[in-house]
């Protein structure tokens, strides 16, 4: 196996590109994919203050590294979800990465700062933990960014994540989620821009990037996500990808380029009848926002 660029010995092949790369050219390949995502979707303006949501996993640490290399000067935000040892370790990986590179990592702790953890919320709502977890993440990333003057929040959602979510949304024809599934959600009143610069890179590429760049990351998956439907969708997509490399990228890129427009009347996070949450001031369609309602339920029990 030879590197597509220099013909030296390759360390990884990327079947959907029908290419193999040596270490250095693989790193260049990843950077180029992120650079293309940033420019195709106008993700970052020249003076934007960028906040990367860092979970301590491979995707978000690789993203932080890549955005630093590309000159975006991003800071990080780690959210402690209170999921036992998994969260303790995830935080340590995020801190170690930031310390070694002299980067700024902000931290918000759901338990210490808001009085409840993801397991508390799951018990109180009797729903899958991921829904309280996702709701808390969206709310706290946005609020933190707004309060600290960041223009944009970047997350490490990769091609596999986007393909699995897209499959789930299509299987249910969930038109509202399809409308909101985009590599960029623009700024709107009460919302900073959200971007996903890894949409062109798969899970396996991100793991290889971390290994080759000597980035230590939390390898464990979240114990509360075990058996969730997105993991099952990933298995299905991996078997399709095995027999037909390029399936995931065609599915996701095709949706972005040709499918999304059919669902999209307004690409922002905002819905027309938004007002301010009576508790925290966040935009909401109800009297009190979903995060504040969750907090009340989860801290009561």
- For the record, the structure tokens of 240 come out as 């399709």
Residue 73 · residue 221 · CB < 8 Å: no
Residue 280, interface with Zn ion (CB under 5 A)? Answer: yes
**CA–CA separation, 55 vs 224, rounded Å?**
15
Positions that interact with ligand FES (CB under 6 A): 81, 118, 129-130, 133, 222, 224-225
Cβ proximity to Zn ion: between 22 and 44 the closer is 22
Cβ proximity to ligand AMP: between 54 and 98 the closer is 54
**Which region among 2-10, 23-31, 72-80, 246-254 touches ligand AMP (by CB under 6 A)?**
72-80
Which of ligand FES, ligand AMP, Zn ion, none interacts with 60 (beta carbon under 5 to 8 A by kind)?
ligand AMP
Cβ proximity to Zn ion: between 3 and 52 the closer is 3
**Which region among 1-9, 71-79, 115-123, 250-258 touches ligand AMP (by CB under 6 A)?**
71-79
Question: Which candidate, 87, 202, 172, places its Cα nearest to that of 136?
Answer: 87
Cβ proximity to ligand AMP: between 129 and 190 the closer is 129
Q: Is the dihedral of CA 270, 273, 274, 277 positive or negative?
A: negative
Please pick, from the candidates 14, 30, 37, 60, the single residue that binds ligand AMP as defined by CB under 6 A.
60
Please pick, from the candidates 74, 82, 119, 156, the single residue that binds ligand AMP as defined by CB under 6 A.
156
Residue 208, interface with Zn ion (CB under 5 A)? Answer: no
Query: Residue 9 carries which DSSP code?
Result: B
**CA–CA separation, 208 vs 213, rounded Å?**
8
Please pick, from the candidates 20, 79, 132, 184, the single residue that binds ligand AMP as defined by CB under 6 A.
79
Cβ proximity to ligand FES: between 90 and 169 the closer is 90
**Which region among 39-47, 74-82, 187-195, 207-215 touches ligand AMP (by CB under 6 A)?**
74-82
Residue 289, interface with Zn ion (CB under 5 A)? Answer: yes
**Which region among 65-73, 156-164, 237-245, 271-279 touches ligand AMP (by CB under 6 A)?**
156-164
- For the record, the structure tokens of 113 come out as 């700062």
The pairing of beta strand 105-109 with beta strand 75-80: parallel
Residues 6+ apart with CB under 8 A from 79: 53, 55, 107, 108, 109, 110, 136, 137, 140, 141
Cβ proximity to ligand FES: between 57 and 190 the closer is 57
Which of Zn ion, ligand FES, ligand AMP, none interacts with 53 (beta carbon under 5 to 8 A by kind)?
ligand AMP
DSSP string for residues in 105-134 = EEEEEHHHHHS--HHHHHHHHTS-HHHHHH
CB of 17: closest distance to Zn ion in angstroms? 14
Cβ proximity to ligand FES: between 207 and 212 the closer is 207
Q: Would you mind telling me the total number of residues written for the chain in this entry?
A: 301
Q: Which residues pair with 9 in a beta bridge?
A: 2
Q: Phi and psi of 40, rounded to 5°? A: -60, -35
Residues 6+ apart with CB under 8 A from 3: 9, 10, 20, 21, 22, 25
């Amino acid at each position: 196996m030879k590197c597509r660029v220099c013909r030296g010995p390759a360390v990884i092949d990327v079947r959907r590109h029908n290419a193999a790369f040596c270490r250095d050219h693989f790193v260049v390949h990843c950077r180029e994919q992120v650079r293309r995502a940033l420019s195709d979707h106008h993700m970052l303006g020249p003076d934007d203050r960028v906040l990367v949501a860092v979970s301590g996993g491979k995707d978000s640490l690789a993203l932080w590294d890549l955005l630093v290399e590309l000159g975006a000067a991003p800071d990080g935000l780690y959210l402690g979800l209170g999921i036992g040892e998994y969260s303790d370790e995830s935080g340590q990986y995020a801190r170690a990465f930031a310390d070694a590179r002299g980067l700024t990592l902000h931290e918000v702790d759901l338990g210490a700062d808001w009085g409840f953890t993801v397991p508390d919320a799951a018990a109180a709502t009797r729903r899958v933990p991921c829904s309280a977890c996702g709701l808390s993440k969206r709310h706290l990333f946005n609020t933190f960014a707004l309060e600290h003057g960041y223009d944009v929040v970047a997350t490490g959602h990769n091609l596999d994540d986007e393909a699995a979510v897209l499959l789930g949304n299509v299987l249910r024809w969930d038109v509202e989620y399809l409308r909101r599934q985009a590599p960029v959600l623009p700024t709107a009143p009460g919302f900073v821009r959200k971007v996903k610069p890894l949409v062109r890179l798969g899970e396996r590429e991100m793991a290889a990037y971390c290994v080759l760049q000597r980035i230590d990351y939390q390898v464990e998956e979240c114990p509360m996500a075990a058996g969730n439907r997105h993991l099952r969708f990933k298995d299905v997509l991996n078997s399709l990808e095995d027999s037909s490399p390029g399936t995931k990228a065609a599915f996701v890129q095709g949706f972005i380029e040709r499918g999304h427009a059919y669902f999209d009347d307004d690409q922002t996070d905002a819905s027309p009848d938004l007002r301010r949450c009576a508790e925290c001031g966040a935009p909401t369609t109800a009297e009190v926002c979903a995060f504040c309602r969750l907090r009340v339920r989860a801290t009561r029990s």
